[in-house]
Amino acid sequence: MRGTGGLWGPSPDTARKEAEEALGLLEESQCYLRSILLGIALQYRSLDIERQRILAGEQAGSLCGPGPVQVQGAASLITLWALLGFQQQAQHLACGAAQRGLQPDMMDVKLGAVSILVSLLRLFRLWQASQQTGPAEELAQLEALDQPPDL
C-alpha cells in the first residue's frame, strides 16, 4: 500500500512530484511572461525608431538598422511563441484534469486559441507591410496596422 496514497492520502513521494511539477509549470510561465515583456519592449523600440525617422525627415533613408515594421515583426514572433507555450500549458492542464475525472475548464484553451489567431493575423499584416518599399509606404502601412480591419 506504500506510495499509492490509499486511505492515508498521497505519499511523500507523490506530493514531492506534484510540487516539482507545479514549480516547473510556474517557471515555464515566468519564461513566457518574460518573452511577452521582451515583445512589448521591442514594440516600444519600434515607436522610437519611427520617431527618429519622422524627425530625420528626408534623411530617414540614412538611418541604419531594422525598420519599425521589422522590429514589430520580431516582437510579434516572440509574443506568438509565448502564446503557443501558454496554449500548450492550458491544454496539458485540461488533459490532466480530464484524466483525474474532473470536468476541465476549456475556456482557457479556447481563449488561448483566439489569442493565437489574433497574433497570427497581426503577424501576417506586418509581413504584408514589410513587402512595401520606401519609408512613405512603410509609414502608411504602420498607420493602417493601427486601424481595425475592414470586414
Q: Would residue 103 count as lying in a domain?
A: yes
Taking residues 24-45, report their average pLDDT.
96
* Number of structural domains in the chain: 1
What was the pLDDT predicted at 130? 78
Burial 116-151 (b: 16+ CB within 10 A, else e): beebeebbebbeebeeeeebeebbebbeeeeeeeee
Q: Would residue 151 count as lying in a domain?
A: no
Q: What pTM was estimated for this model as a whole? A: 0.74
What was the pLDDT predicted at 1? 45
Q: Model confidence at 77, in pLDDT bands (50, 70, 90)?
A: very high
Taking residues 24-40, report their average pLDDT.
96
Q: Would residue 46 count as lying in a domain?
A: yes
Q: Would residue 38 count as lying in a domain?
A: yes
CA distance 79 to 49: 20
Q: Would residue 112 count as lying in a domain?
A: yes
Mean pLDDT computed over every residue of the chain: 83
What was the pLDDT predicted at 116? 96
Q: Is the pLDDT of residue 22 over 70?
A: yes
More confident residue, 135 or 42: 42
What was the pLDDT predicted at 64? 77
What was the pLDDT predicted at 126? 87
Q: Would residue 40 count as lying in a domain?
A: yes
Q: Model confidence at 44, in pLDDT bands (50, 70, 90)?
A: very high
Q: Would residue 128 count as lying in a domain?
A: yes
Q: Would residue 6 count as lying in a domain?
A: no
Residue range(s) defining the domain that contains residue 81: 14-144
Q: Model confidence at 128, in pLDDT bands (50, 70, 90)?
A: confident
